[in-house]
Each structure stands twice: as C-alpha cells, then as structure tokens.
A and B are shown apart, each in its own frame.
Chain A
Amino acid sequence: MRVLLLGSTGIIGRRVAAEFARTEEVTDLIVGGRNYETLRRSTSLLGENTRAALLDVEDDALLGTACVQADVVVNCCGPAHLTEVPAATAAIEAGVAYVSLGNDYAASGAVAELDERARSTGATVVSGCGLSPGITTLLAALAREELDDVTETEISLAHSYRDLPTETQTSHLLHTLEAPGATINDYELEVDRSGDSPHLIYFPEPVGWVETVGCSHPELHNLKSQGLRSMTVGFGLTEKAAMDALRSLALTPLTSTRVAQRVLNLALALPPRGPRWSAARVDVVGHRDGHPATVSLGVVDHLINLASSPMILATLKLGKGQRSPGVRSPAEAFDHRDFLAQLGGRGTRIARLEPLAL
C-alpha cells in the first residue's frame, strides 16, 4: 500500500508516520510537509520505504500530483478549518482513499457535499476519523445496537491541554468556541453561540467530572441522518483555569493563536489542575422494549493516541480494500465493533457507565 501523509512534521503526524514506517502493509510512505529541513530530518529516521515531498495544502497542482502516487491520503494537517477542504478535494480528484481528523463543523459540511464527486471518481473519503468525529461516531453506533429507537444523542469531550499544547491545537480550540455552535432541537437544526450552557459531565476515570460548554462540532453531519429529536455536543478542558481562559479568549476579537497559547500555558499553572488524560462520553437516549432507556459509553486515553490510532486503523483497512466510494462517516465505512475492539487492543480504554443502584 502506498500512503501519502500530509502534515507529517506535527506531533500527530510524526506519531502516524513512525507507525506506518514500521508497518509491513505500507510499502511506500510519502511524508509531506512545508518545511524542508524538518522533513529531511524526520525522513532520515523513518527508514528506506519513506520519501519526503515538499507540499502545501494550498498548492492544488502540487498536491494533486502527490495524491495520484498514493493509494490512501492521510491528512494530519491542522487546523481542520483551513486544511480539510483542499486536501479532501485533491484526494477525490485523484480518485484515491482519504482519511483525516476532520474535526471542524463547516469544513466537514463542505466535504460532505463532495459525496457525489467522490462516488464518480471512486474515492472513499473518511473525513472525521480521530477522537470526535471518529471514536464517538463508532460509540454512538455501538450504543444504538442496544436500543429499539433513538431520540437523543449527547456527545461530550474533555481534553487535557497539557496533553497536546501545540499552536495547531490552540487554533482549533479557539475556532471551536468562536464559530457558531449547532444543535438539533425538536428535529430542527439550530445554530447558536458556542461557549454557552456550561454543565458538569462525568467522564471515565481518571478524568472524572469536567465542566463542558456547547460548541461547534462536525458530529452533527455524521449523525443528522438518524432523525434525532435532539443532539448536543459539549467540550471542556480538564484544566479548569485554562478552560476559563480559553472561553474568555474566544470572546475577545482578534486574539492571535500565539497569544492564546501563552495565556493558556500560564493558566495551566493555576489550580485546580485536572488529570493529564483526555476522554469522550456518548449518551444515547431512546427506547428498549417499549421503555425509555439510556446507554452511556466512554473512552479515555492520551489525546495523541485518541487522535492518531483511529486514523492508522482506518488507513490500514482502506489499504486492505475495505472501500465504498463516497464521503463516509467511520460508522458507515467500517464495522464499529471490530474497529473499537482493535482500538481496545492498542490500549485505549473503552467503558460503559453503569449507574449506581438506588
């Protein structure tokens, strides 16, 4: 399998590249990036099946030329609101499979609209295959199995900023709280302000209780076809002072990413400092045997594993020929049980909330 990896010099990109370099199935690995020196250094460490390519997602022609040399394009380039659409478009035009974190609401919606074009070129596009969308999409599918019908879905995310305090991550977090938040309320899509409705959510240990706020999130694109009565997505940082600072920064116009990164790093010194673990929780509400029922599933690991493992597994599955052309959510493209079992095998903890007996 030939893999083109975009954003291979970032933290997540380096992790993905290192794993592909020692995977037998990947016979040819092209690592793309904008900085020649960084690329050269990382390529020299990866082995003989690796080639470096100086690439910029904004250069359509160069990106298109690189895409046709691969079977699967993996996009670790961030932030998604800037890189997702050009990278997905190039892969679709080249007719090759595509996997990405795709964790931006507007970009994910724009990629969903390329579905027809992807079908015509034969490209399988799994945009949104990290923690969320990605693992949360698969957990929602797993929870649905236990219910006769589904009326509500609530997705909650708790990130540790200390886990991945990069400029790209900061830019993504700011954008998540700055962009309008979308929810489904009484079967209607409603666009509201992000950063509102704070409430405490109990995540798998060691994360525990974290305050989350409503946010803009692409999971709606993945789950909207289910005819849900209600759907919300909430987001919080395990470091409370950093979360307060992030919410304030998101309300401040013209906040630069570098300034935000400095402020958040300063806020990390303030108590209470939450655990250095990240988690997600999916609550699916519906009916079972005619009675109301709720299934709550969660996942916990370090953010770098939660983001990179699903992309690695998805790439290997697409490389083995598990493809159906079009823009697919991870739950549509893969068997969710099999995928989650493989994630569990990599050390990611998947758990079910069993309420306390009254």
Chain B
Amino acid sequence: MVAKLIRLIIAAAIGAVGVWWGRQVAHSKTPPPQGTWREISEAELARKGDNAEP
C-alpha cells in the first residue's frame, strides 16, 4: 500500500515537472517584435504642457 502511494506520488511529481517543462519549451519561442518602441524625449513631452512649471 505504502509502496503504491510512493509510486503514485513520484509519478505525479514527474508528470508535474513534465507539464512545466513542456510549457517552457512551448513558450521558449517569442513572436517577432510587434513594432518599434520610439523614445519620447523630454522636450517632446514638455511641449504641450498647459500647466508646466517654468
């Protein structure tokens, strides 16, 4: 009975690691960039500030 339980626990642990590893492999390839992140400069941000401090 105990031996069966231990085998069950080991099988469940191996299964969990397998699912996790499979997920890692499945998600290891990321899509190509969605676009280009262009930095917004301080000057560009401050340009339209209605209440901007001097």
Q: How many residues of B contact A (CB 8 A)?
A: 27
B28: chain A residues at CB < 8 Å are 272
Q: How many residues of A contact B (CB 8 A)?
A: 32
- Taking a contact as CB atoms under 8 Å apart, the answer to whether B45 and A350 are in contact is yes
Whole-angstrom distance between the Cβ of A333 and the nearest chain B Cβ:
11
CA A101 to CA B40, docked complex, whole Å: 25
* SS class, residues of chain B in contact with chain A: loop
Whole-angstrom distance between the Cβ of A242 and the nearest chain B Cβ:
12
Name the one of B23, B46, B53 contacting A244, with C-beta atoms under 8 angstroms.
B23
Q: Report if A205 contacts B (CB, 8 A).
A: yes
Name the one of B23, B24, B39, B51 contacting A350, with C-beta atoms under 8 angstroms.
B39
CA A204 to CA B48, docked complex, whole Å: 24
Within 8 A of A (CB), among B25-54: 27-28, 30-31, 33-43, 45-53
A200: chain B residues at CB < 8 Å are 30-31
Name the one of B31, B37, B42 contacting A351, with C-beta atoms under 8 angstroms.
B37
- Taking a contact as CB atoms under 8 Å apart, the answer to whether B27 and A240 are in contact is yes
Name the one of B20, B38, B45 contacting A354, with C-beta atoms under 8 angstroms.
B38
| Nearest neighbor of A202 in chain B, beta-carbon distance | B34
- Taking a contact as CB atoms under 8 Å apart, the answer to whether A335 and B49 are in contact is yes
Whole-angstrom distance between the Cβ of B16 and the nearest chain A Cβ:
9
Whole-angstrom distance between the Cβ of A204 and the nearest chain B Cβ:
4
Q: Interface on B for A, CB 8 Å cutoff?
A: 20, 23-24, 27-28, 30-31, 33-43, 45-53
- Taking a contact as CB atoms under 8 Å apart, the answer to whether B37 and A341 are in contact is no
A142: chain B residues at CB < 8 Å are 45
| Nearest neighbor of B39 in chain A, beta-carbon distance | A351
CA A197 to CA B31, docked complex, whole Å: 18
- Taking a contact as CB atoms under 8 Å apart, the answer to whether A351 and B52 are in contact is no
- Taking a contact as CB atoms under 8 Å apart, the answer to whether A341 and B35 are in contact is no
CA A356 to CA B38, docked complex, whole Å: 12
A345: chain B residues at CB < 8 Å are 42
CA A240 to CA B46, docked complex, whole Å: 37
- Taking a contact as CB atoms under 8 Å apart, the answer to whether A352 and B34 are in contact is no
A353-B24 in contact given A145-B48, A200-B30, A340-B45 (Cβ < 8 Å): no
A354: chain B residues at CB < 8 Å are 35-38
- Taking a contact as CB atoms under 8 Å apart, the answer to whether B35 and A209 are in contact is no
